[in-house]
């Protein structure tokens, strides 16, 4: 009975990870694409003056990083997790690490912050915690579901 409860908790954590990976991945693809298409940022309510004092003169390069590192990698991690890839707990953890690094970089580089940075930063931390939990519990229970 206890083994069943532990497996159920793993499924809940895995599904929650999938939801977060999908939401973050999709929004990153959309946001990154918008910044690539319109590097001025105006279509997203941004202006290039928000980049004053940074190494960027427009939003194209950050858009490409957002699209690839958070969007493509995030959705790839979601697909591999849903397919029970052998290393999916590590993929969840690493995508959380990448997302957290992205947010911390924004906070460090940009002169102003936005409350959504806190939301996505929390998603990154949650993904790291969930990936760690999945890895530890999955190894401990010797299960591959």
pTM for the predicted model, two decimal places: 0.89
pLDDT digits (tens, 9 = 90+) for 18-30: 999 999 999 999 9
Task: Look at the chain and report how many structural domains it folds into.
Answer: 1
**pLDDT per residue rounded down to tens, the chain (145 residues):** 567 777 888 899 999 999 999 999 999 999 999 999 999 999 998 888 888 888 999 999 999 999 999 999 999 999 999 998 989 999 999 999 999 999 999 999 988 888 999 999 999 999 999 999 999 987 655 555 4
Query: What is the rounded distance in angstroms from the CA atom of residue 53 to the CA atom of residue 64?
Result: 20
Q: Is 142 left (phi over 0), alpha (psi -120 to 50) or beta?
A: left
- For residue 47, the enclosing domain spans 2-141
86, 144 Cβ separation under 8 angstroms: yes
Position 145 scores a pLDDT of: 45
Q: What are phi and psi of 66, to 5 degrees?
A: -60, -45
**CA quadruple 54, 58, 63, 64: dihedral sign:** negative
CA 27 to chain CA mean position, Å:
10
């Amino acid at each position: 009975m206890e083994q069943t409860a532990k497996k159920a908790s793993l499924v809940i954590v895995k599904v929650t990870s999938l939801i977060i990976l999908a939401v973050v991945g999709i929004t990153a693809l959309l946001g990154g694409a918008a910044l690539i298409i319109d590097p001025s940022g105006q279509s997203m309510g941004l202006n290039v003056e928000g980049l004053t004092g940074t190494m960027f003169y427009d939003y194209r390069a950050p858009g490409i990083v957002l699209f690839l590192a958070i969007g493509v990698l995030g959705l790839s991690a979601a697909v591999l997790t849903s397919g029970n890839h052998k290393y999916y707990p590590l993929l969840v953890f690493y995508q959380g690490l990448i997302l957290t690094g992205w947010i911390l970089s924004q906070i460090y580089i940009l002169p102003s912050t936005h409350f959504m940075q806190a939301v996505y930063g929390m998603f990154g931390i949650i993904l790291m915690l969930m990936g760690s939990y999945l890895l530890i519990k999955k190894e401990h229970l010797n299960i591959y579901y």
